[in-house]
Amino acid sequence: MIFKSTFYKFLFAALVLIIAAQSKSYAGGGFPVRPGRLTLSPSVSYFFANKQWDSHSVKGPFPDNGRFSSLSTSLYAEYGLSRRFTLSALMPYAYNTYKDNTGDYKDSGFGDAEIGIRYYLANINYKYYFSLQATAIIPMYTNLALGYNQKGAELRLAFAGSGHLFGKNSYFILENGVREYFGYESVFQDRYNATYGITLDKKFREQLSVSVGGFYVSSNNKAFSPNPNTSKNFAFNQVSLSYGHSFSKKVAMFLTGGTFITGRNTGAGSSITASLNYHIDTK
């Protein structure tokens, strides 16, 4: 019974890490931000899973009719320092619940704060942009059910561009980031994402986009351990569809639905996210 309870808590903690990883629903990507422009993007996301992928990527239900849900919020901010540099920050908060036939397990709190600086390496005819971002990860908690509680760093390369498809304005963003958490048992992460979107009207107020992305996480500890402190080896891929509406040049809203399509050592679930982008020009 003690192992059973600990095992459920492990599943809960592992899923929390995934939710924190996918909380970045804000727009941004590899396109330049105007110097002096501040972008604020609050978002709220709901994730639900009642199945899991084991260490062999075999999908099945949680034990004892288990089910996991997470309601998370975040605030993302980005400021254009110059034509080449932007500064960004992210602060997430999550409320997570794991329920089964034996009881409920709940945790809530802030996650990993992120502070980054992006440099635009080059552009091609001001249509295609290459950028590199360095990010510092700072844990805002001590509860291991909310993350690794380790400082980390990330380097992310992005390629973004715009064009036309079937007479519609379109854009794409390709990103890949490698992240390392430092500690007794360091954790390596590879986060990747590809997004393609089109505008639906001539006034650029409506847009649709589809994304394919995922996570690959590894460490020296390869075991599927019941100890949350050592749950540092999993992977997943997901697809998502997003609708965006611009109320004005300064305010836009995004609704996104996504689902996991493959995984290893992780939950199999779906999410829905709502976010708001607000631009403030300070110059």
Out of 2-16, 199-213, 223-237, give the one with best mean pLDDT: 199-213
What is the rounded CA–CA span in Å between residue 102 and residue 218?
A: 31
What is the rounded CA–CA span in Å between residue 169 and residue 127?
A: 12
Whether the per-residue pLDDT at 20 is higher than 70: the answer is: no
Give the percent of the chain with pLDDT over 70: 86
> Identity (one letter) of the amino acid at 184?
Y
Instruction: Please compute, for residue 7, the number of CA atoms within 13 A of its CA located in the half-sphere on the CB side.
Output: 12
Q: What is the DSSP letter of 230?
A: G
In the chain, where are the structural domains located? Answer: 2-281
Whether the per-residue pLDDT at 28 is higher than 70: the answer is: no
pLDDT at 105: 83
Instruction: Tell me how far the alpha carbon of residue 170 is from its chain's centroid.
Output: 23
Residue 63 in 3-state DSSP?
helix
Higher pLDDT, 11 or 235: 235
Residue 9 in 3-state DSSP?
helix
Higher pLDDT, 281 or 145: 281
Could you say which architecture CATH assigns to the domain 2-281?
Beta Barrel (2.40)
Question: Per-residue b/e over 199-231, b at no fewer than 16 CB within 10 Å?
Answer: bbeeeeeebebebebbbbbebeeeebbbebebb
pLDDT classification of 146: cutoffs 50, 70, 90: confident
- Average pLDDT of the chain to the nearest whole number: 84
Q: Which helix (H) or strand (E) holds 3?
A: helix 2-21
Question: Which of these ranges, 8-22, 37-51, 185-199, has the smallest mean pLDDT?
Answer: 8-22
Question: Which of these ranges, 19-33, 80-94, 173-187, has the smallest mean pLDDT?
Answer: 19-33
Q: Which helix (H) or strand (E) holds 136?
A: strand 128-139
Under 8 Å between Cβ of 72 and 94:
yes
Whether the per-residue pLDDT at 172 is higher than 80: the answer is: yes
Question: Which of these ranges, 33-37, 54-58, 130-134, has the smallest mean pLDDT?
Answer: 54-58
Tokens encoding 69: 């849900």
pLDDT classification of 29: cutoffs 50, 70, 90: low
Give the percent of the chain with pLDDT over 90: 53
